[in-house]
Amino acid sequence: MFEKLAKKIFNKKVRTFLRSSQRQTMFVSYSRATSFFLLFESDTAEQNAGIRQLIEQLRTDGKQVTAWGYLPAKGTGADPESDIKVLHKNDFDLLQRPGAEVLHLLKKERFDVLIDITSHHYIAVDYLILNAEATLRTGIKKSDQPLYDFALEIPDLLPDEKGGKEEDQTINNYNQLIFYLKNIQSKDY
């Protein structure tokens, strides 16, 4: 019941945001981007080894990276020593809207590129995308909401291909998006 209500409220919030938003969107190529905001699904152990490799790859290329994971379960606060922030269900309200502390942290920074590499649709993550200050929002399309400036549509895996690990799909999503960011040329700059 709350899921339907949360979805309905979110859809209304998106429509209102899109009507009132003065957001300037432009394509930011990989070579011109300096700061990245990476959203991903965290593993239950919160180790995220594959994500750490992706972050290191971006940092090796001279990019500043902020990485937030989402774990759709109740949990405790994040490890302050970690460079990855993992958000849990209790960081959001009953309708999956981010709490004041999360919104404050999110609004504090501005990013050139937001990359959503989650494989599943979470309204909580959609709220983060909607509220993030990013010049270019990109990700894998999972709903009909126009959250992204640049989105890829990846068809569902065939039943016999679903045996792969979730992390493999996340890394594949990332590689697809980075490929296009590196290869598309734009005159927006």
CA-nearest of 28, 18, 33, 38 to 139 is: 38
**pLDDT for 94:** 85
Q: What is the pLDDT of residue 165?
A: 65
Q: Can you give the pLDDT at residue 189? A: 54
- By DSSP bridging, strand 35-41 and strand 84-88 are unpaired
The number of beta carbons lying within 10 Å of the beta carbon of residue 141 is 15
pLDDT of residue 107: 92
DSSP string, 73-127: S---PPPTT-SEEEEEGGGB-TTSPBPHHHHHHHHT-EEEEEEE--SS--HHHHH
| Structure confidence at residue 40 (pLDDT) | 93
C-alpha to C-alpha distances, 48 to 23, 68, 70, 84, 136, nearest whole angstrom: 32, 11, 11, 9, 25
The predicted structure's pLDDT at residue 78:
57
Residues 113-145: tens digit of each pLDDT: 999 999 889 999 999 999 999 999 999 998 888
Instruction: Looking at the structure, give the CATH architecture of the domain made up of residues 2-9+34-183.
Output: 3-Layer(aba) Sandwich (3.40)
Which residues of the chain fall below pLDDT 70? Answer: 1, 46, 76-82, 156-166, 187-189
Within 10 A of 61 (CB to CB), how many other CB atoms are there? 14
pLDDT of residue 76: 65
pLDDT given for residue 164 in this prediction = 55
Outline where the chain has alpha helix (H). Answer: 2-20, 49-60, 100-107, 123-131, 166-183
